[in-house]
Amino acid sequence: MNNNKVYDLAYGAVHTLYERYLPDVEKSISTFELTGKVSQPVQMSKEESSNTPAPMEGFLAYENPAIGIRLQYPEGWDKIEDVGFDSGATGVVFSPSSTSNIKDIRSLGINYQLLPSPATTLSQFADKEFNHTKAENFKGILESNETTVAGLPAHKVVSTQQDSSGKDLISMKIFTIKDGIGYTVFYTGLEGAYSNFMPITQKVINSLEITK
């Protein structure tokens, strides 16, 4: 408290990343000074105040500063955050609204997790994640190749599987790593409609930015 003013310093992060960024936060806190001077707020232009691009027509902007993810997703879709995955990852999942007539897309989203070692390679992460998340009703791999996502080297795997009712699905996973964190972009749809919704999926993927 200074001159009857109260100052509140706060730090928040997803629990899996809290300890990772705490040393940097503590350094920032240690530089904090109370000078007794009050400066007039600096007016910023719209361009300066936000680096977030304007959403594409028919899309909404999504940003999660805690993990450094920014993307755009279709209007009218549901968004579920802080979803836990069997691999230990946490992420966000988008899907057509339950009231929508679109039933052919099962899920579209991205998850993240700390890598077991800073030396973990993209190949090691992709192999481990794909094998760990492979469905029990896995049928086979249609495609496996190198690509890029969010401007980073990545590996894409497209595979086939069946859901619990026996319907055939196609699943795409794109794996990438940055600064000790592994990211998986995923899309799953019914086999007969998978390619129909790929243009929408590709727009979401192309809009992805990893800002950390």
Tokens of 173: 């996973």
Query: Are residues 181 and 212 in contact, defined by beta-carbon separation less than 8 angstroms?
Result: yes
Q: Tell me 166's DSSP state.
A: S
Cα separation, 123 vs 79, in Å, equals 30
pLDDT (tens digit, 9 = 90+) per residue, 159-209?
Answer: 998 888 888 999 999 999 999 999 999 999 899 888 888 999 999 999 999
How many Å apart are CA 57 and CA 105, to the nearest integer?
20
pLDDT at site 131: 85
What's the predicted TM-score (pTM) here? 0.73
Please choose, from the candidates 28, 116, 105, 112, the residue with its C-alpha nearest in 3D space to the C-alpha of residue 74.
105
In this prediction, residue 44 carries a pLDDT of 42
54/51 Cα distance (integer angstroms): 9
State the pLDDT at residue 48: 40
Tell whether the model's pLDDT for residue 137 goes beyond 60. yes
Under DSSP, the state recorded for 201 is H
Task: State the pLDDT at residue 185.
Answer: 96
Look up residue 84 and give its amino acid.
G
What band does 96 get if pLDDT is binned at 50, 70 and 90? confident
| Beta strand extents in 127-208 (DSSP E only) | 138-149, 152-162, 168-178, 181-190
The helix/strand/coil state of 130 is: helix
CA distance 156 to 205: 12
29-41 pLDDT tens trace: 665 566 655 544 4
Query: Using CA atoms, how far apart are residues 52 and 71, in angstroms rounded to an integer?
Result: 9
pLDDT at 47: 42
What percentage of the chain reaches a pLDDT higher than 90?
42
At 147, which amino acid appears? T
Query: Tokens in use for 21?
Result: 């960024």
Does 112 or 43 have the greater pLDDT score? Answer: 112
More confident site: 74 or 26:
74
Average pLDDT in the chain: 80
Sign of the C-alpha dihedral computed for residues 110, 116, 118 and 124 taken in this order: negative
What percentage of the chain reaches a pLDDT higher than 70?
A: 70
